[in-house]
A and B are shown apart, each in its own frame.
Chain A
Amino acid sequence: MATHDSILTLELPYRERLELRRTSFDGGPNGRGPKVAVVAGIHGDELEGLYVCHRLAQWLEHLAVRQPGALRGRVELYPALNPVGIDTLQRFVPVFDTDLNRNFPGHREGLLPQRITEAVMRHLESAALVLDIHASNVFLREIPQVRINQEFKTTLVPLAQKMNMDVIWLHGALTVLEATIAHSLNSTGVPCLVVEMGVGMRITPAFTEQLLIGILHAWQALGVLAPDLELPALTHQPLVADDSNVHYLNAETSGLFVPEVEHWTSVKQGERLGVIVSPHEGGEQSTVCSPVDGILFTLREYPVVYEGSLMARIMAVDTPASAAVPS
């Protein structure tokens, strides 16, 4: 059954403590298999991963009743790495005003954010797979995807293929930020996959269920779950995006962006995707059209745009897009 503990507690200025809480499931006497972990809530405004942790806990609790021997390894859930941020609806570490995901690998005697990241790194040392779940931000909605640094693609892409995601996005080394949890873990030999899905401050249950199936398959492949345990079938095959086929649509002018297409649809070159209007007048300030044939995998959720604001990302595809997009 589940055990609950804190891997770090730090004193707050007035009577309270910051607790970094963990929920663990252990295979018991059969549990010689590897350890895997899910971390979420690095950014206090991203909630999708918290709900994924809940669903995993629920699934593992049922499994313990239904098939007690089927868990062969150890699962650790860390739903809120930035607990005070989650509690106070702040993306960054409150008061320190720093992005926790730019503070890895941290230091035991450093500032509070670095103490958090050091404790996390220490506890994930021996993991066979870590999933770091993000939910974009409050501006953009993302289709379920795994993001991988080119540097680690040999190890990570085969793992990501099993995750039931829609997209695997390979990033060039230049755009990779070294002080993230993923880069810090992968460079010490602990495989870490970054999942991005949904939108900040919301949960998208359909995406959660999709990812849940993928996580279970990945865990089974690693020997965390018994090989004969029956799992729901995979429903999605990922398309591979990289720096060469992803096109960014940034706003030409400021105003209100109103999309005219659905998220995750195939689009044709020149097709109208939306419009930027002004609340002061009736005309259109700017029309937003697709630069290529492809799939719209990022779509702006928050309507107000400044010049330069990202409105959409499109992955160019050679094959007719309609064939690649699941109906």
Chain B
Amino acid sequence: MTTPALLRMTAPLREDFEIPYHDIGDRDLNPKLALVAGIHGDELNGIFVLSRLANFLHAVSEGRHTGQTLTERVIIVPAVNILGVNIGSRRWPFDSTDINRMFPGYDAGETTQRIAHAVLSLTRPAYYRVDIHSSNSHFEECPQVRLYEPTDLERTTAHLFGLAAVIELRMNKAFTTTLGHAWRTCGGENFVMQGGQATVLDATHCERLFRALVAFLYRTGILRGRQLSAEDEDVHHFRIGQTVPLISEHAGFFVSRLAVGRWLQAGDVIGKVYDGFDGEQRHEVRAPMAGLLSGLRRQALLFEGDLIARIQSRQSLGEGVDTYLHGQGQ
């Protein structure tokens, strides 16, 4: 069978190109689930995980995994920004457009509006929709489900992935042009997943994300049969007001030995800021409260007004705490 493509396009000098996707399961059914990654070409974890998942689901649907059945139709787009992937670029490389700021798109508009329109058209009929991201190249996120002002149904369903953190954030003015936001007008249930750091393929994060997606497939009945992995992490649900960004008041070189996804006590050292010229330690960054370290800076070069870490508190710290922080990496 030929690989379907959600868009075919001419190119100025190269061969014509297309954005391929996987269409797995009974094509007479309406798709139950659409999975999208690689809207940013440098976010490799999601692309890799979705390619592996497609590989697995093709094998199931072709009867090569005895005892496993795919009961629904699943659409998988491992990478939307294919030209970006090929040169490691976050944006659509030709005009530096962020495809995740072009939704809902327009089929007679700019190139990236056409791409956005095609992605939305393909995924609209699905009931569940998941967009997978990997932060940016400066910041690492622990594998998590992100919810932006969700429905109660989405709040409950988000736990089916079995990831340690389900994090609710406020819709941001800058995010009204994302795929995740465009999906909200299509009904169904919609999720954003975050895991790892752009430009890095992290095998541990990938394994977590893969297991989370497989767990979701079983729990929603899309996959039936002997469960391949049952062990779950404890799921913690963080509402608005429970996300605390640590923003630097000092510039310099930031150094940390911590891993994301660990729990911190108030006062724990997160990292240190050094003067890059004379080597003096200028500041010690400590956790202002206990919580889950959901994200951590990986780029050493630190500006005044830079994001160092994000901590998920068990207690609500009030509505205003994260309102000014433009989310990164989505």
Task: Select one of A91, A110, A278, A305 contacting B247, CB under 8 A.
Answer: A110
Stretch at the interface among A62-70, A74-82, A222-230, A249-257: A249-257
Kindly state whether residue A171 has any CB partner on chain B within 8 Å: no
Kindly state whether residue B114 has any CB partner on chain A within 8 Å: yes
Give the docked Cα–Cα distance between A18 and B90 (Å): 25
- Binary contact track A98-123/B, C-beta < 8 Å → 1, others 0: 10001100110111111100000000
Give the docked Cα–Cα distance between A310 and B12 (Å): 14
A11 touching B12 in the complex, CB below 8 Å, given contacts A98-B326, A103-B326, A307-B114: no
**Closest-CB distance, A227 to chain B (whole angstroms):** 41
Kindly state whether residue A178 has any CB partner on chain B within 8 Å: yes
Interface size class of A (residues with CB under 8 A): 35 or more
Interface residues of B in 221-266 (CB under 8 A from A): 247, 250-253
**Closest-CB distance, B56 to chain A (whole angstroms):** 34
Contact at B12–A97, with CB atoms within 8 Å? no
A11 cross-chain contacts in B, Cβ below 8 A:
250-252, 303-304
Interface residues of A in 291-308 (CB under 8 A from B): 304-308
Contact at B303–A95, with CB atoms within 8 Å? yes
**Closest-CB distance, A293 to chain B (whole angstroms):** 21
Kindly state whether residue B29 has any CB partner on chain A within 8 Å: no
- Binary contact track A228-255/B, C-beta < 8 Å → 1, others 0: 0000000000000000000010100111
Kindly state whether residue A158 has any CB partner on chain B within 8 Å: no
Kindly state whether residue B156 has any CB partner on chain A within 8 Å: no
Which of A112, A114, A308 is packed against the most chain B CB atoms within 10 Å? A308
Which of B12, B302, B307 is packed against the most chain A CB atoms within 10 Å? B12
A253 touching B10 in the complex, CB below 8 Å, given contacts A97-B90, A111-B306, A115-B305: yes
A103 cross-chain contacts in B, Cβ below 8 A:
174, 326
B138 cross-chain contacts in A, Cβ below 8 A:
95
A112 touching B305 in the complex, CB below 8 Å, given contacts A11-B251, A15-B277: yes
Kindly state whether residue A10 has any CB partner on chain B within 8 Å: yes
Give the docked Cα–Cα distance between A97 and B325 (Å): 15
Task: Select one of A10, A91, A178, A255 contacting B305, CB under 8 A.
Answer: A10
A111 cross-chain contacts in B, Cβ below 8 A:
247, 305-307, 325-326
B325 cross-chain contacts in A, Cβ below 8 A:
110-111
**Closest-CB distance, B113 to chain A (whole angstroms):** 7
Q: When A and B form their complex, what is the total count of cross-chain residue pairs whose Cβ atoms lie within 8 Å?
A: 107
Q: Is the interface of A mostly helix, strand, loop or mixed?
A: loop
Closest to A252 in B: B10
Which of A96, A113, A178 is packed against the most chain B CB atoms within 10 Å? A96
Kindly state whether residue A264 has any CB partner on chain B within 8 Å: no
Give the docked Cα–Cα distance between A283 and B318 (Å): 65
Give the docked Cα–Cα distance between A307 and B17 (Å): 11
Closest to A255 in B: B12
Give the docked Cα–Cα distance between A206 and B215 (Å): 64
Kindly state whether residue A207 has any CB partner on chain B within 8 Å: no
A179 touching B251 in the complex, CB below 8 Å, given contacts A95-B301, A98-B326, A306-B12: no
Which of A13, A97, A112, A113 is packed against the most chain B CB atoms within 10 Å? A13
Give the docked Cα–Cα distance between A316 and B295 (Å): 52
Kindly state whether residue A29 has any CB partner on chain B within 8 Å: no
Closest to A45 in B: B96
Task: Select one of A98, A115, A256, A308 contacting B109, CB under 8 A.
Answer: A308
A14 cross-chain contacts in B, Cβ below 8 A:
252, 276-277, 301
Q: Which residues of B contact A (CB under 8 A)?
A: 9-13, 90, 94-96, 108-114, 136, 138, 173-174, 247, 250-253, 276-277, 299-307, 324-326
- A14-B252, A15-B276, A254-B10 known; 11 other A-B pairs, CB under 8 Å? A10-B251, A14-B277, A109-B324, A111-B325, A114-B326, A250-B110, A254-B9, A254-B11, A306-B12, A308-B114, A309-B110
Closest 10 CB pairs of A and B: A107-B324, A11-B251, A112-B305, A308-B111, A13-B301, A11-B304, A254-B10, A110-B324, A306-B111, A254-B12
